[in-house]
């Protein structure tokens, strides 16, 4: 039996390294592989999960939304996101879950003891990852979320998506032109893929920011984006996306194997990942 991360492209994925480490440690006798697939193959992969030929799937770009039409049940939280990254079997039903948001909040809580309640968060980007993170931030009862994205229409769509589900939420659209977070902001998160290439750097005006502000770039490759380097240099506590990646993987692992991973499992795999690139 095998597990796969499927997407296009997938060659950059660290998921096989992470899951195969835990699979070997817990002597599960399985293998986790990458599979670059065309969209047409998605229904047959889900059938393979139903027939127990595949133990589980992780879904990455660009299929996190498309895959939903082929599974039987979407978890309650993934319904609020409209995208899934984990597929697993319960009884004879194929389920989908999204573990990105919980991976993000767990990673930040562990690294900085950050308490999300009543905090103001400034989010850059309105792609799939932003949806997962915002859904989790709402559960954590943050005070306010500012959201900005290069393509204005996508920001408007995101705000309307969450406001139709929760009228109370304080989600404010911010123009992309000059990224100038207000002084009330406690946490800035870059959820865009801008920064993955050399020398790409968004310009953010940090003049208003409080000293205690935390910056997170959810990109993990490169290890430090130019933006992350900038915030570090300015003296702000900063974190890249590797811990989020490992935490979200640990939630998927638990869904497949009912094994709850401990901090030692997480730290061991983090060291291996860091040494690998």
Question: Where do contacts with ligand NAP occur on this chain (CB under 6 A)?
Answer: 61, 100, 103, 125-130, 149-151, 154, 191-194, 196, 218-220, 241, 244-245, 248
- If the CB atoms of residues 20 and 85 are measured against ligand NAP, the closer one turns out to be 85
**Exposed/middle/buried for residue 237 (C-beta within 10 Å: 0-12, 13-18, 19+):** middle
Residue closer to ligand NAP (CB basis): 156 or 259: 156
CB of 11 to ligand NAP, least distance (A): 13
- Choosing from 64, 93, 113, 264, the catalytic residue is 64
Q: Between the CA of residue 130 and those of 44, 73, 191, what are the distances in Å?
A: 29, 22, 6
Nearer to ligand NAP, 56 or 241 (CB): 241
Tell me whether residue 157 or residue 183 sits nearer to ligand NAP (CB atom): 157
Nearest approach in angstroms of CB 220 to ligand NAP is 5
Report how far residue 148's alpha carbon sits from residue 18's, in angstroms, rounded to the nearest whole number.
Answer: 32
Q: Is 64 a catalytic residue?
A: yes
Q: Which two tokens stand for residue 113?
A: 């003891």
Q: Shortest CA distance to 143 belongs to which of 117, 174, 113, 173?
A: 117
Q: Least distance to ligand NAP from the beta carbon of 47, Å? A: 25
**CB of 141: closest distance to ligand NAP in angstroms?**
23
Q: The tokens of 271 are what?
A: 């060291």
**Interatomic CA distance for residues 114 and 121, integer angstroms:** 12
Position of minimal CB gap to ligand NAP: 127
Answer for the pair 217, 228: CB distance below 8 angstroms, yes or no. Answer: yes
Tokens of 208: 């208003």
Residues labelled as active-site residues: 64
């Amino acid at each position: 039996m095998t597990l796969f991360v499927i997407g296009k492209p997938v060659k950059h994925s660290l998921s096989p390294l992470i899951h195969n480490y835990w699979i070997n440690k817990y002597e599960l006798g399985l293998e986790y592989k990458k599979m670059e697939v065309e969209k047409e193959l998605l229904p047959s992969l889900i059938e393979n999960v139903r027939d127990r030929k595949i133990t589980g799937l992780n879904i990455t770009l660009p299929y996190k939304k498309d895959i939903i039409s082929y599974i039987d049940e979407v978890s309650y939280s993934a319904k609020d996101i409209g995208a899934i990254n984990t597929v697993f079997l319960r009884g004879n039903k194929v389920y989908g879950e999204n573990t990105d948001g919980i991976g993000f909040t767990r990673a930040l809580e562990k690294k900085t003891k950050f308490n999300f309640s009543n905090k103001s968060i400034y989010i850059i980007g309105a792609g799939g990852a932003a949806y997962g993170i915002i859904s989790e931030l709402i559960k954590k009862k943050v005070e306010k979320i500012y959201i900005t994205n290069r393509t204005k229409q996508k920001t408007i769509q995101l705000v309307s998506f969450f406001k139709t589900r929760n009228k109370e939420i304080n989600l404010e659209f911010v123009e992309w032109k000059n990224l100038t977070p207000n002084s009330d902001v406690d946490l800035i998160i870059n959820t865009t893929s801008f920064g993955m290439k050399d020398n790409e750097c968004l310009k953010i005006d940090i003049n208003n920011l409080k000293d205690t502000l935390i910056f997170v770039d959810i990109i993990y490759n490169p290890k430090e984006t130019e933006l992350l380097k900038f915030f570090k240099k300015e003296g702000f506590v900063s974190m890249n996306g590797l811990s989020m990646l490992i935490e979200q993987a640990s939630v998927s692992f638990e869904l497949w194997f009912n094994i709850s991973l401990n901090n030692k499992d997480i730290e061991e795999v983090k060291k291996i990942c860091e040494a690998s690139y």
